[in-house]
Amino acid sequence: MEDNKINMPLLGDDFPEMTVNTTHGVMNIPGDLKGSWFVLFSHPADFTPVCTTEFVGFQNKVAEFDEMGVKLIGMSVDQVFSHIKWAEWIKQKLNVEITYPIVAANDSVANKLGMLHPGKGTNTVRAVFVVDPQGKVRLVLYYPQEIGRNMDEVVRAVKAMQVSDANGVAMPANWPENDLIGNRVIIPPASTMEDAAKRLDEYEGYDWWFCHKEL
């Protein structure tokens, strides 16, 4: 039974090392991407409608990801020749060229990432892994097969993490369009009574534990 256990990297874990075949050749992940943020997203199968809309959606965001220094990588358990043919079909029929690599994952790779779930057969679930330049898993999203992902949210989440890392702040819901504080960012709560007493003299806020500022 232990061999059937689903493994899944948790937030803060090192992304598991793997050598994979892709539409751009052999890649070592995360080794080849060291020093760069990357988003790896899996899909259930090539030549399926929802996945096709997702691949076009991610491709349409490539310029935004490039601007943030983020690499995109697709993945499913289909073989490379299937990925190549599907990418050709997307270009021919939809006039969209897929420029990011697509990984041909075997069961071992898929199991390392918890992408093969019981009751879903051999198809991989819709997983999204956001990995930072140190190879640490920073965000994991899982969607069921019948629901396509929101690419704007993936872009927003990566941008928010980068801003948080660079400035030592927290990001409110729906940032940069939060209902309470707009595009402002949240100051980490005071850790001592002395800091708490002067926090509202230093920052705007609702209370000492909820202060915010402009970037």
CATH code: domain of residue 24: 3.40.30.10
pLDDT at res. 78: 87
CB proximity list for 145: less than 8 A, separation 6 or greater? 44, 50, 120, 123, 125, 126
Q: Is residue 161 part of a domain?
A: no
Using the predicted structure, report yes or no on whether residue 156 has a pLDDT greater than 90: yes
Report the SS3 class of residue 21. Answer: strand
Q: Is residue 12 part of a domain?
A: yes
Q: Give the ranges where the chain is alpha helix by DSSP (H).
A: 49-59, 62-67, 80-94, 107-112, 151-167, 193-202
Decide: 109 and 16 in contact? Cβ < 8 Å.
no
Q: What gap in Å lies between CA 135 and CA 193, rounded to an integer?
A: 37
Whether 211 sits among the annotated catalytic residues: the reply is no
Q: Is residue 160 part of a domain?
A: no
pLDDT digits (tens, 9 = 90+) for 65-94: 999 999 999 998 889 999 999 999 999 999
Split at pLDDT 50, 70, 90, the class of 144 is: confident
Q: Are residues 54 and 102 in the same domain?
A: yes
Q: Are residues 187 and 103 in the same domain?
A: no
Using the predicted structure, report yes or no on whether residue 4 has a pLDDT greater than 70: no
Q: Are residues 24 and 130 in the same domain?
A: yes
pLDDT digits (tens, 9 = 90+) for 33-60: 999 999 999 888 899 999 999 999 999 9
pLDDT digits (tens, 9 = 90+) for 92-134: 999 999 999 999 987 777 777 877 665 555 566 788 999 999 9
Q: Is residue 157 part of a domain?
A: no
Q: What gap in Å lies between CA 19 and CA 29, rounded to an integer?
A: 6
pTM, two decimals, is 0.90
Q: Are residues 16 and 64 in the same domain?
A: yes
Going 21 to 85 to 83 to 100, the CA torsion angle's sign is positive
**Which residue in 29, 39, 51, 87 is the catalytic one?**
51
Split at pLDDT 50, 70, 90, the class of 9 is: confident
pLDDT at res. 1: 37
Q: Which residue segment(s) compose the domain that 116 sits in?
A: 2-149
Poorest-pLDDT segment among 3-12, 65-74, 88-97, 173-182: 3-12
For the chain, how many structural domains are there in total? 2
Type of residue at 37: W
